[in-house]
Amino acid sequence: MKIVCIGGGPAGLYFAILMKLQDGAHDITVVERNRPYDTFGWGVVLSDETMDNLRESDPVSAETILGEFAHWDDIDVHFKGTCVTSGGHGFSGIGRKRLLNILQARAEELGVKLEFEVEVEGVEAYADADLIIASDGINSKIRNQFADVFEPDIDVRRNKFIWLGVNKIFDAFTFIFEKTEAGWIWVHAYKFDSDTSTFIVECAPETWEALGLDTADQDDSIRICEEIFGKYLDGCRLMSNARHLRGSAWLNFQRVSCKRWRHGNVVLMGDAAHTAHFSIGSGTKLAMEDAIDLANMVKTGVIEGGRALDDVLHDYQEARRLEVLKIQSAARNSTEWFEDIERYFHYEPIQFAYSLLTRSQRVSHENLRLRDRAWLEGAERWFVGAARGRETQEQIPPMFAPFKLRDMELANRVCVSPMSMYSAEDGLINDFHIVHYGARAQGGAGLIFTEMTDVSEDGRITPGCAGIYRDDHEAAWKRVVDVVHGLGAAKICLQLGHAGPKGSTQVGWEEMDAPLGDGNWEIIAPSPVPWSERNQIPRAMTRADMDRVKADYVQAAERAARAGFDMIELHYAHGYLMSAFITPLMNKRDDEYGGSLENRLRYPLEVFQAVRAVWPQEKPISVRISSNDWVGDLGITPEDSVEIARMLKEAGVDIVDVSAGQTSTQAKPVYGRMFQTPFSDRIRNEVGIPTMAVGNIYEIDHVNSILMAGRADLCCLARPHLWDPYWTLKAAAHQGYGDVSWPKPYLTGKSQLERLAEKQAQQGDQTIRV
């Protein structure tokens, strides 16, 4: 084959090397715009996994690279005058220039033609090539030439950064956070050879401008950075190798993602196709692994298998897309952590370091234990001590730290999330509910939520929904409360709601949110906006309707108090009545209850204040909200949810149950594990109100990491508690934690569970299955 690699970075050079190793008869040219020893980065980081791939692909260059590596295990986090050190991370770095020189020498040794100082504007000059690799970097001219085909999506991130070097060795991967009069500014630093370290300085654009860096040239920028971080430099001077750039060398990171990676015989590779933020150090990894996969697929598919090149390039694109998506997802998490870093500066240093280490979600709680058990156990003791208000030497998992709201004390931070059971008759719960809630009361969770319990007959979602608007309802719920309190340490919270425009629909195992076949009752809403074209058009509420519904909530709260509930939650999410007032998708009123967010929240706050007035002062009230309508600026956005939470806090709400969505049939949610937790994180740390995280939380690691990182105060698990009421007891056994309340009749099973869990843990498996 005749192959041309446009761009002499790691992707193009390594692909050329691998193809020459397959068959020396390949005619391969690498064309590079710069001179052989030019480079505009400092050090690059490669993982152990990537090095294993390099060894397998080309042992010769791999061993040369390994011989040049600078290796370190620790991460140092300098924050608020404290250095927090965590070990066992196993990074390796090498100078970008040295890496390129090694690859250049290996390519020439194998017969690859290297052409330097050649500016390529398009592929026309290489029309006779069988395969053209566009590896010409983040500003790829080849990608731009065929932009209508590749359809690049370039997201320019908000933070400013400058890539510097220093002749000082940082023996750990070092993060330095310094507070200036202009705001916080920080460093990512790591060694990459015997006397040089990368020194990346980053800050928010507001800080950058306030420090005068927006008008500073490179020399002034370096001087300012040296003044800020001088105590960490030991007298060494910072250096730039971006003198080719006019004026400032400050940049905004560009996240590149392409819909397609191939066009005819042209294929994108490395940064031309995708980028990953420097804070996770995976750009070079992705580039070289692109080269490995494409070289293998060309060999087995085209050369040995006789398949069409276009088919092979399609397979390459699809095979690499998933791996790139994983890395870019982690990189997005990391990028956003640094962009939103202001919300974490109130943390203590140890929690700040934990949040930093787990920011991308690639490093989990238990993964940190494998890397540095002593450090993590110290962090856990700090967390539990902070929860108790005193230092402790006990080793307790974060999920089993206590939590207090007003006078309600929870034994742990695991909650059984509200889940509609659709098993009541005329609002009256029955023996099913006794068994259902009783089983979960024995399962170890600190707090049990009831299903949404309706404040009136016409406020039900379905004919099977529970209510608390009659005396027999109240008596039935009192029986449940007494059973829960009699079976263990769990507290129980009654979730109160009114279905509003989503009422009079079929039960959950029929057709969700679809209207009844017959027997529909009248439904009300802030505006005559139906849930869907199939659903009823609700009647717009009058002031009399609003007064009646508010009175229903008050009466329901009074019944809940008499029944002995420890807490109540008002359901202001998921498109039900109060949510319909809050979201502009469903509230089209032109009076004082419509229009601005403040107006749309006016009636829900009226209801809360009326309920708070009759609910015992020693008992807390939660409010569940939809923090994102998933329809962009047309609905509630995460930014709006911060303001909603702020108004709820000012009104006296004790904790916010942060959910999302289910407010529009047009919503396009982005699912994934813990996918709603970022909304909880933002509200908790920007508003300063306790939160509950919900949404695809199902592993021990999820719960512990959310709590330790301060992303929520409680974790609500729904489906895991449907298939396993004893999830929390099993989580305790898996973590070797015995101080959790078991029903006395079940104690003979406790030791067997702990033995099985210990055996499973020895095999490195924390999945709850015993």
Q: Is the dihedral of CA 509, 512, 513, 514 positive or negative?
A: negative
Q: In the block, which residue shows the tokens 């156990």?
A: 377
Cα gap 169→162, rounded to integer Å = 19
756 vs 367, 726, 769, CA distance in Å?
21, 15, 10
DSSP 301: I
Q: Give the active site residue among 576, 593, 603, 698.
A: 576
**Do 150 and 174 form a contact (C-beta atoms < 8 A)?**
no
Q: Is 576 a catalytic residue?
A: yes
Which token pair is 218? 């490179």
Secondary structure in 3-state letters for 493-536: EEEEECCHHHCCECCCCCCCCCECCCCCCCCEECCCCCCCCCCC
Query: Side chain identity at 669, as an amino acid letter?
Result: P
Q: Three-state SS across 154-208?
A: EEEEEEEEEEEEECCCCCCEEEEEEEECCEEEEEEEEECCCCCEEEEEEECHHHH
* Tokens matching residue 213: 């860096």
Please count the CA atoms within 13 angstroms of the CA of 274 that sit on its side-chain side. Answer: 28
CA nearest to 477, candidates 500, 490, 493: 493
Amino acid at 214: D
Q: What is the largest CA-CA distance in the chain?
A: 89
The set of residues, in sequence order, having a beta carbon less than 8 Å from that of 582 and lying 6+ positions away, is: 572, 597, 600, 601, 604, 625, 626, 636, 644
C-alpha 695/C-alpha 675 separation (Å) is: 6
Q: What residue type is assigned to position 289 of the chain?
A: E
Residue 420 neighbours by CB under 8 Å, 6+ apart: 451, 452, 461, 462, 465, 508
The pair of three-digit structure tokens given for residue 430, joined into one six-digit string: 């029955």
- The two structure tokens encoding residue 488: 């263990």
Q: Report d(CA 454, CA 551) in Å as an integer.
A: 13
Three-state SS at 491: strand
Q: Contact 18/3 with Cβ under 8 angstroms? A: no
Give the chain's radius of gyration (CA, Å): 30
Nearest to 414 by CA among 38, 2, 741: 741
Paired tokens of 742 = 């078991």
In angstroms, the Cα distances linking 720 to 233, 697, 726, 731, 764 are: 50, 8, 9, 12, 21
Which residue numbers are catalytic?
A: 576
